[in-house]
Every structure is written in structure tokens, then in C-alpha cells.
Structure 1
């Protein structure tokens, strides 16, 4: 997701989760800030800074839309095939670890 003009990372995250997943969340804390080209392939000719945000679910329900056809919850061992140019198994594992660790320290490149 790209951050829209006049949005913060927090407000944009909450807005995009609602638009794409139908869920109401509170963006609670930053997990990591990563240089996309250091963690994902293929390498892009331009730079992208990826911010991983831990969110608290407060309501809503999934509704199929133009960007998301279906939704589900998966354990780390049962992940579906990933679009690794967007998110890798290692990045998702990092998010699982952060969610379980109240003392998590933000990782950044």
C-alpha cells in the first residue's frame, strides 16, 4: 500500500484495511521499516520503504471488493502461495513474532 496524500502511516493503514478487508482496526505499533530492495525480489529501479504495522482488530467483516476477492486467517505453517515481490514468508514470520512480544523493538534498515 502506498500512503495517500494528507494521510499518516497510522491513518492510511486503518483506512486501507477497511477498504481492502472490510475490517475496523487500530494501527497500534510499528513492527519494522524495511528497504524493499533488501528483502524482496525482483529489485526495483526505484526505492520503496515498507512499514509493517501491528493492528488491533475492533470490528467489521470481510466483503469482496475490487482489490480483494477473499480473506482468511492462516498460521505461519499454513500460509498460501505468496506474492513474494510484496511480502515474504520471513517478513510474515517477523510480524508473528512481533505480535507475540510486547517488548518488541522496531527493526529498521
Structure 2
């Protein structure tokens, strides 16, 4: 059953990233106006819009826009499900 949940999460993240959509709540400033820090926890990372997630991942792995950051964003989201209190940087750098 966990695989179905994980696969569903990856599919949803992929669809959102490919569509380029982001959700904002009326009456609040969009998060894209704030600087993006690579020192976010996983729970903070999950509420970012897709563009900011890519920026965070690129900053952590020092990737250029042509690198496979979409895959890394999806991977970070899946790994963060199990450790919402851990920094995203720690989760991604453990993969090395």
C-alpha cells in the first residue's frame, strides 16, 4: 500500500511541475516574492510552488537549469514524506 501512496505522490508532483501551476491563497502574498533558501526543512519545502522547489534543489546540488532538477525535486518530495523535520539539503546530500 505505501508504494501506491508514494507513486500517487510522484504522479501528482510531476503533473504539477509539468503544468507549471502554482496555488495561491487569495489575500496572501505569493511565496515567489521571498528569497528561496536551501536551508529549508522538508515540511517547508513541500509548501513551495514548483518553481521555487526547483530553485532550492538547484541551489543545494549546485545544478544549472539544464540538469535533471525535475527528477531531484520529485525525489526530494518523496524522501521528505518520511522525514518532514529534516532539512531538504540533508535529505538530498545523503543520496551521494
TM more than 0.5: no
Considering fraction of residues, name the structure with more helix.
2
Is the strand fraction higher in 1 or 2? Answer: 1
